[in-house]
Amino acid sequence: MRKILPVLAGALAGILTVSAAQAMQDISIFNYPPVDPSTQQTEPEAAPIPREIVDYDGAYAPGTIIVNTEERRLYFVLPDHQAMKYGVGVGRPGFEWKGVHHVASKREWPDWTPPAEMLKRRPDLPLHMAGGIDNPLGARAMYVSGTLYRIHGSNEPDTIGQAVSSGCIRMTNEDVEDLYDRVKVGAEVVVE
C-alpha cells in the first residue's frame, strides 16, 4: 500500500496539469477489471453529406449562394438551371438568421478572432487564433457583408448537417475549398 500511494499521488498531480482528454486517458489506467476495447460501444461516425449537382429552377442568377437553413444545405447556382448542393451546419436555436447579403471578402486558412459577443458567452476562448488545421474556420472563409457571419470550413466535420454554430455556415474543408474556388467577391448570399 505504501508503494501505491506515491504512484496515485503522482498520477493525480499529473491530472491537474493536463487537458481533460489526457486526464481521462491517465485515469483509464486505473480501470479494474481491464477493459476490452472490442466490447466498448462507440458512437457511429457521421456519414459525410456528399456534394452533388442538382436541377435548379429558381429565380436566382448563376453565382448566387442560397443557404436553406431548415434543410441544412447550401446551393451554389450554376448555369443551365443547375446548382451545386452542399451539406452545411447552421446556427443553433437562438442563433438562426435570414437575409440577403453578399460575399464581402474571401480568405484562405483564415485567422480567427472571436467577436466580443462570443467572448462574453465563452470567456474560455482564445482572443485570437492563427489560421491552420485546428482553427475553427477551417481551410477557407467567405465573409458575409453586414454581419459577423462567415461561410467557412470546420475543424469539426461531424457538425455538418446540424444546427450547432453561433450563426456561421459551416462546411467540410473539402466542400468549402470547392465552393471558394467557384464564388466571386460580391456574389449574392441568400439565407432563408
- Catalytic site positions: 152, 168
Cell numbers linked to 47: 456519414
Which CB contacts under 8 angstroms, 24+ apart, belong to 23-26?
none
Q: How far apart are CA 66 and CA 74, in angstroms?
A: 6
Could you give the CA distance from residue 128 to residue 141 in angstroms, rounded to a whole number?
Answer: 16
> Which residues have a Cβ under 8 Å from the Cβ of 8 and sit 6 or more positions away?
none
133 dihedral zone (left: phi>0; alpha: psi -120 to 50; beta): alpha
Query: Tell me, what amino acid is at 126?
Result: P
